[in-house]
Amino acid sequence: MKAVNPVLVVVDVQNGFITDESKHVVPVIEQLVHDWLDKGRDVVFTRYLNYHDSPFEKIMGWSKLKESPEIDIVDELLPLTKQALTIVDKTIYTMYNAEGTRLTQNRGWTDVFVCGIDTEVCVLKTAVDAFERGIRAWILKDACASHSGSTPHEAGLIVGAKMIGRKAIIETYEISHALSSRYE
């Protein structure tokens, strides 16, 4: 049996995505990253960068997250990015752009634990893309939120359960069990 090699992916916890509806996950993620790094495991942060004439701007009319301070990772997590493996900058929903795909292949990750903002968009897309690459994907529901509120967050969890399996939607306290059950 292949050894389990997990990574924690912290998706887009950037100033531009922090609202009253999403800020509650920042301390949860901060503690999670500390715990993950203390165990010597890989942590990757992602940062969404919008650009002029992007599909988000052209088609959706959404032109946020183009410059600092909106694109910056929140202050509470910024020091932890220096201990992380890397920050994957992306102009798409998923971490799996060319850099993220190459990184995943080079590191040989077997399990991707995803947290961050927005559950129904970038978190979900990253988890589904990992799943479709044959990597066990997990969404950490208590470490995810939507800047648009609880309804989109819950919708993301429901769709995620359909797409990657309901047992893959877990709380942070279940991580150890999830990893140990991979040996059964």
What value does the mean pLDDT take over residues 59-80? 96
What value does the mean pLDDT take over residues 47-73? 96
Percent of the chain with pLDDT over 70: 97
Report how far residue 127's alpha carbon sits from residue 119's, in angstroms, rounded to the nearest whole number: 10
Checking phi first, is residue 39 left (phi over 0); if not, alpha (psi -120 to 50) or beta? alpha
What does the pLDDT look like over 85-135, one tens digit per residue? 999 999 999 999 999 999 999 999 999 999 999 999 999 999 999 999 999
Q: Which residue has the higher pLDDT, 57 or 184?
A: 57
Q: Are 127 and 137 in contact (CB under 8 A)?
A: yes
Q: In what order do the strands lie in the sheet with 111-117?
A: 86-90, 42-48, 6-11, 111-117, 136-145, 169-170
Q: Are 38 and 146 in contact (CB under 8 A)?
A: no
Q: Which residue has the higher pLDDT, 3 or 72?
A: 72
- Confidence (pTM): 0.97
Q: What is the per-residue pLDDT for 182?
A: 66
- Stated length of the chain: 184
Q: What is the per-residue pLDDT for 183?
A: 56
- Choose the CATH number for 6-181 among 3.40.50.2300, 3.40.50.850, 1.10.3720.10, 3.20.20.70: 3.40.50.850
